[in-house]
Amino acid sequence: MAEAPGIELQGTARFGAVPLFAPLTLRIDAGAWSCLLGPSGSGKSTILRLIAGLETGVDFDGTITASDGRPVAPRVAYMAQTDLLLPWLDVLGNVTLGARLRAETPDLAAAMALVDRLGLSEHAHKRPAQLSGGQRQRVALARTLMEDRPVVLLDEPFSALDARTRADMQELAAETLAGRTVLLVTHDPGEAARLGHRVCLLDRNGLVESPPPATLPVRAVDDAAMLAFQARLLTALREAG
Ligand code: ADP
Ligand code: MG
C-alpha cells in the first residue's frame, strides 16, 4: 500500500445563501482513525463527499490538502451512506466492482476470502434484492475494503448491523485498515468511542474535538474509560445545537 497521508479540510459550505457549516478545520491524522460525530443534517456526509471529490451541490469555500501535498481524491476509497449496490450483480460481482470498472481482472480469491470473513460466503451468488439490509451493508463494506487505498472514507458503515455483527465488523475493519488514514462518519457515540484515535463533533456551531481515552482503538466493549468517554460524547451530542 502507498504511504497514507494526513488530510486537512479547512473552510465553509453553504447551499446558495443557506449556510451548512461555519468555518472549520478538520484534521485527519495519517494512518489513524478519525471519527466525525454529529446530528443528522450537520454536514457529515457532505464533508466525506468533498474529500472524495464527489458532487455535493454545496458551495465549498476552502481547501482540502494532504500532508504530502499530493491530490487527495484519487487515493480515496469511499463507502456511501446508502449501499449503492448494483442490483444486477451478485455479491461477488459487487465486491469486485472497482476492478471491473477499471477494466482490471478482479482478484476473485481475495474477494471470496473477504466475503467469507464478513460472514457472507453462503450468499456470494445472491443479488442485492435477496439480501437483508445488514447483509447488503456488509457487501458495500467488503467492496470498500477490496479497494487497496491509503485513504478510506466510511459513511455510517455499520448502521444497519445488529449489535453483535456491528462489534465484529468494527474489529474486522480496524484490523483490515490498520495503517490507513480513515475518516469514519457515525451518529453512534459508542462506535466513535471504540474506534477513534481522534473524535470530532460537528454541529451548527462548528467542529469541536473530544479527546479519547489513552487506551488505543479498538477499545474493548467493557473498557471503563471507553464507556465514560461514550457517555461524555452522548452528553455533548444531546447538548449540540
Ligand atoms: P449529515 O450526513 O450530517 O446528516 P448531510 O451532509 O447529508 O448531513 O446534509 C447536510 C444538510 O444539507 C441536510 O440538512 C440536507 O437537507 C441539506 N442539503 C443537502 N443537499 C442540499 C441542497 N442541494 N440544497 C439545500 N440543502 C441541501
Ligand atoms: Mg449523512
Using one digit for the tens of pLDDT, what is the confidence trace for 104-138? Answer: 999 999 999 999 999 999 999 999 999 999 999 99
pLDDT of residue 205: 81
Atom 12 of ligand 1, residue of closest alpha carbon: 41
User: What distance in angstroms lies between residue 48's CA and the mean position of ligand 1's atoms?
Assistant: 12
The pLDDT of 26-52, averaged and rounded, is 96
Ligand 1, pocket residues at CB < 6 Å: 15, 20, 38, 40-46, 57
pLDDT of residue 241: 62
Using one digit for the tens of pLDDT, what is the confidence trace for 165-200? Answer: 999 999 999 999 999 999 999 999 999 999 999 999
Which protein residues have a CB closer than 5 Å to ligand 2 (ion)? 44-45, 81
Atom 14 of ligand 1, residue of closest alpha carbon: 41
Atom 24 of ligand 1, residue of closest alpha carbon: 15
Using one digit for the tens of pLDDT, what is the confidence trace for 90-101? Answer: 999 999 999 999
Q: Is the dihedral angle over the CA atoms 218, 141, 47, 148 positive or is it negative?
A: positive
pLDDT of residue 9: 98
Residues in the chain: 241
pLDDT of residue 11: 96
Atom 16 of ligand 1, residue of closest alpha carbon: 41
pTM over 0.85: yes
Q: Answer yes or no: are the C-beta atoms of 200 and 51 closer than 8 Å.
A: no
User: What distance in angstroms lies between residue 58's CA and the mean position of ligand 1's atoms?
Assistant: 9
Q: Where are the alpha helices (DSSP H) in the chain?
A: 44-52, 91-95, 97-101, 108-117, 133-146, 163-176, 189-195, 224-239
Q: Quick one: which atom of ligand 1 is closest to the CA of 48?
A: 6
Q: What is the mean pLDDT of the chain?
A: 95
DSSP summary character for residue 228: H
> What is the helix (H) or strand (E) element at residue 62, kind and residue range?
strand 59-66
Percent helix, percent strand, percent coil in the chain, to nearest 5: 35, 25, 40
Q: Where are the alpha helices (DSSP H) in 34-107?
A: 44-52, 91-95, 97-101
Q: Rounded distance, CA 197 to CA 156, Å? A: 17
User: What distance in angstroms lies between residue 107's CA and the mean position of ligand 2's atoms?
Assistant: 31
User: What distance in angstroms lies between residue 46's CA and the mean position of ligand 1's atoms?
Assistant: 7
Q: What percent of the chain has a predicted confidence (pLDDT) above 90?
A: 93
pLDDT of residue 240: 78
User: What distance in angstroms lies between residue 43's CA and the mean position of ligand 1's atoms?
Assistant: 6
pLDDT of residue 2: 75
CA angle 178, 176, 31 (to 5 degrees): 20
For the domain 7-88+150-240, what is the CATH code? Answer: 3.40.50.300
Atom 5 of ligand 1, residue of closest alpha carbon: 43
Using one digit for the tens of pLDDT, what is the confidence trace for 204-226? Answer: 788 999 999 999 999 999 999 99
Q: In Å, what is the CA distance from 154 to each residue of 87, 159, 235?
A: 21, 11, 24
User: What distance in angstroms lies between residue 157's CA and the mean position of ligand 2's atoms?
Assistant: 11
Residue 38 grid coordinates: 454529529
Most informative mutation of 24, 45, 47 for ligand 1 (most atoms within 8 A of CB):
45
